[in-house]
Structure 1
Amino acid sequence: MLKKTTIAILGLAVSSVATAGMYSTPPAPSCAPGDVTVPCAASQWDIGAQALYLKPIYDAEKGYDYNSTTTTNGVKEWDGDWGWGYRLEGSYHFNTGNDITMTWMHYDVDTRNSGYFGVTPFSATNVPYNLFLDNKFDQVNLILGQHTDMGLLKNARFYGGLQYADIRIHAVNNYTATPLAIAALAPAGFRQTRDSEFNGVGPVVGVDYAYDLNPSFSITANAATSILYGSSRYSGGFVFAPSGLVRNDVYASKKSIVPSLEAKVGVNYAYELAQGVLNLEGGYQVVNYFNALPTRKFTVNGVVPGTIRIPTNSDFGLFGPYFGLKWVGNA
């Protein structure tokens, strides 16, 4: 009887200990560096600006035209100029490494090239022209991010949200000779316009990565992708001067789904002050929107150059260096 009583008491004791452990207060989350952790709760804000020095690129169908200095089938690249743009950003940081961020990237650069020719509807002979090209690009992101530390030297910020993009390519062939058939209608010459546009909105996800070389210097990298839904448009026509009469004009519009990829690699220097941290950053970036711009095929399969241009689509991309400043302060 004593043995049974002893066993029952021990069983109740073990059960009580287990139950107490089951319902005890869980340990507080650690914010010390470890394998994968999040920062301690804090409220901060930041504002930054970057200067971008970029060059545009397109598919071969859009990035080439016929060359007046070689044979009939010679080609010449559009070769958009390098030019300056900018990127602005602002963030509010809250909780344990969360942030809400808005960024705006803007680029607007003109290019003027010469030495092209093409066949117009007004003459079977090749007509030389100079090319004017205007590239306009705007990208706006509204995203939510989460900062994580991976050990003492590595950290990453994962983010997702919405992206809006607006791409506008305005191309003008300024012809330097006038066919006899339209000489009376265009005594001051004529030009051809070829405009391609896309604007759309959709989800974007990405990651910012940093590897600390020391407390101030770090190597940085970024990768992002988006899928946008919007409208693609193509328009063109021949404009006679000085009357402004438009002939053989064309306009087309369609709904499009356009994916994009963006990547950066660079360095960052963090200078700590009493009121916050000043970051100096620089590096190299590329961005590409796939099949974003409606255009006409460059290849003509043996047909006289310029007489047949089948509708198609072209990528739009930008690449080049960037550098800038970002201030992070306590809220």
Structure 2
Amino acid sequence: MISVKKIATVALILGHSALFAGTMGPACIPGNVTVPCPTMGWDIGIQALYLQPLYSNTNLSVVNVGSVNGTLTYDDLDNDFEWGFRLEGSYHFGPGNDINVNWIRWHDDLSVRSHAGHLSASIDPTLSLITLGSVIYSGTDFDAVNFEFAQHVDFGEFKDIRFHAGAQYTRIHTQFRGDQTISGTSTSTALSGLPSATGALNFNGGGPRLGMDMLYNWGAGFSIYGKAAIAAIVGENEYRNNAIFSDIPGALSRPVRSSFVSLAPEIDAKLGAAYTFGTPQGNFTLDVGYMVINYFNALHFSNLDLNTAHETRLSSDFGLHGAYAGLKWISAV
């Protein structure tokens, strides 16, 4: 009898344990994945960009300003933030489809980036000090035109994703100039104003581009978003300079030009916030955010050893980063 009671008690305990162990919380019901109802309309937008250029190769971002006790000293080139713009226009049609064309334009004037290598010395006590110096200039032009075909998808009530595919055309032009000065000698007129060392790095190309724009709606017109895209850009990668040195007696310069077709993978990303409000003339969207663009191995420069006729090619990424703010108008037809 005791054994039967013990068995019944153990069975009851195990039954309750199994009941509690198998109890789950409320079942998660996934939100519907839908596309918007068919519509037709246009939009146009403009953004102000405040961006700074980035280079992965130190030869394009720092300069040797001298040495102390045999240790080389470098100084950053003062690559400033500069203004640019982004223009876009879209045609909306069907269940969440759109065709978008946008153009990014950014320009940095050729201006002084560093006063490097200033040195004063006296070779002869009877002569005045000799001053050696160099002034480094640089400037950049950047254009990118994107063509996108997109599909808008709603993931539940608050989350939207716009998937897009298309093509990009890119133009990058960077130029450098170094002015050397020597003054304070009895032959200053002959030594001052030496020819400037100049260089130009160019990339022009195009290729396919894919991306997505992810948005979360907070309500009352407010939203936050993240956007990302990748591209494979194929184009002409060119470098040229006036190379103010030569092994030929009496020659002041020997120009160098190097050009080849290369692949420059591209990635860009944005994080931002937006506010949309309606008017009788259509919807307006204000947005602000931070963006990063990078083209891998988009630029190169060549060093040519005239004694051995050996060429060295060094590559560099080109990128931009900074803040932006813009306004878009959407008008449904």
How high is the TM-score relative to the length of structure 2? 0.77
Counterpart selection for 1:49 from 46, 49, 52? 46
The residue type paired with residue 88 of structure 1 is L
Q: Tell me the SS of whatever aligns to 1:73.
A: strand
Are the aligned partners of 2:297 and 2:317 in contact in 1 as well (CA < 8 Å)? yes
**Aligned with 1:190: secondary structure?**
coil
Distance 1:174 1:271, change over 3 A: same
Q: CA deviation at 1:187?
A: 5.7
Q: Which amino acid aligns with 2:324?
A: Y
How far does residue 273 in structure 1 lie from its aligned partner after superposition?
Answer: 1.0
TM-score, with normalisation over the residues of structure 1? 0.77
Q: Say if 1:311 and 1:329 are closer, same or farther in 2 by CA, change over 3 A.
A: same
Q: Which residue does 1:39 correspond to in 2?
A: 36
Deviations 1:74-118 (A, max 9, x none): 111223111100000000000000000100000001341233249
Residue type matched to 1:319 in 2?
A: H
* Deviation per residue, 1:254-296 (Å, 9 max, x gap): 1000101100000000011122100000000000000000125
1:318 alignment counterpart? 320
Q: Deviations over 1:12-45 (max 9, x none)?
A: xxxxxxxxxxxxxxxxxxxxx9521000000011
CA RMSD between the two structures: 2.8
State the partner residue of 1:101.
100
Contact between 1:128 and 1:175, CA under 8 Å: does it hold in 2?
A: yes
Matched, 1:235 2:237: no
Q: Higher mean Cα deviation, 287-296 or 138-147?
A: 287-296
Partner-residue secondary structure (3-state), 2:34:
coil
Counterparts of 1:76 and 1:158, CA distance in 2 = 43
| Code of the aligned partner of 1:102 | V
Counterpart of 1:45, as a letter, is W
- What does 1:1-331 align with in structure 2 at a 5 Å threshold? 34-59=31-56, 60-68=58-66, 73-110=72-109, 111-117=111-117, 128-177=133-182, 188-238=193-243, 247-296=253-302, 310-331=312-333
- In structure 2, C-alpha distance between the alignment counterparts of 1:76 and 1:188, rounded to whole Å: 23
How many equivalent pairs are there? 278
**Structure 1, unpaired ranges of 5+:** 1-32, 119-124, 298-307
- Give the Å deviation of 1:184: 7.6
Cα gap change, 1:271 to 1:221, in 2 (>3 Å): same
Q: Distance in 2 between matches of 1:113 and 1:213?
A: 44
For structure 2, the 5+ residue unaligned runs are: 1-29, 119-129, 246-250, 304-309
Identity %: 37
Q: Measure, in 1, the Cα distance between the counterparts of 2:190 and 2:313.
A: 29
* 2:285 partner amino acid: N
User: 1:114 is matched by which residue type in structure 2?
Assistant: S
Work out the CA distance in 1 between the residues paired with 2:117 and 2:150. Answer: 51
Q: Is the 8 A contact 2:180 2:193 kept in 1?
A: no
Please list the CA deviations of residues 138-188 of structure 1 after superposition, one character each: whole Å capped at 9, or x if unmatched.
0000110000100000101000101000001011102222799x9787764
Q: C-alpha offsets along residues 215-263 of structure 1, whole Å, 9 cap, x if unaligned?
A: 30000110000001100000111579xxxx9712111101000101100
Question: Matched residues in 1 for 2:208 and 2:282: separation?
Answer: 32
| 1:208 to partner: Cα distance | 0.6
Aligned partner of 2:60: which letter?
K
Query: Is the Cα–Cα contact under 8 Å of residues 182 and 191 in structure 2 kept in the other structure?
Result: no
Are 1:104 and 1:140, in contact at CA under 8 Å, matched by a contact in 2? yes
Give 2:62's aligned amino acid: Y
CA shift in 2, pair 1:233/1:311, >3 Å: same
Give the Cα–Cα distance (whole angstroms) in 1 for the partners of residues 74 and 233 of structure 2. Answer: 33
Q: Secondary structure at the match of 1:139?
A: strand
SS at 1:320 equivalent: strand
Name the CA distance, whole Å, in 1 between partners of 2:172 and 2:284. Answer: 33
Task: Give the 3 Å change call, closer, same or farther, for CA 250–296 of structure 1 in structure 2.
Answer: closer
| 1:254 partner amino acid | F
